Amino acid sequence: MKPFVDTVAFIVHRDGRILVEKRKSTKETDPGKIAIPGGHVEDGESLEQACARELKEELGLECNEFRFITKFLHYTGVEDQMIHFYSCEGWRGEAASMEAEDVIWVSLEDIGLLDFDVDRKATAEYIRKQWLKERNDSIG
């Protein structure tokens, strides 16, 4: 039986684009895939603490606030993951590929480039929540 683990993934958004990673071909899980960046939650960490640590390790960025978007199960050949998706609001730093083969800014219209259905669904939910927030802000 494969282990079940909690993981986090974060949507970093700028000018109608999100930051995604091309995973290294040497990764044990999902090698070479285009995905939303993230990683495993360590023992004793909250989900937000894991987001902050992984964001720094994966992309070299810091974030003012993480907002929960949704969560989905993702099955890999190695483990079963519960991915907790967050948006990173008010990020700072220069995005760099610290652990992936590459990081790429992708237009929100091009989320079909993501290799995993869970990432596409989470991004669609992020877009929906952003639209609702902007709509509510404009209504007052």
125: Cβ contacts below 8 Å, ≥ 6 apart: 69, 70, 85
Amino acid at 63: C
pLDDT more than 90, % of the chain: 78
The structure tokens 């991004």 sit at 123
Query: pLDDT of 64-101, one tens digit each?
Result: 999 999 999 999 889 999 999 999 999 999 999 998 99
The architecture (CATH level 2) of 4-139 comes to Alpha-Beta Complex (3.90)
Q: How far apart are CA 115 and CA 120, in angstroms?
A: 8
114: Cβ contacts below 8 Å, ≥ 6 apart: 20, 34, 35, 36, 106, 120, 123
pTM of model > 0.85: yes
Q: Per-residue pLDDT averaged across 105-111, rounded?
A: 93
37-109-130 Cα angle (round to 5): 70
Query: pLDDT of 14-42, one tens digit each?
Result: 999 999 999 998 888 888 999 999 999 99
The DSSP letter of residue 113 is G
The predicted structure's pLDDT at residue 140: 62
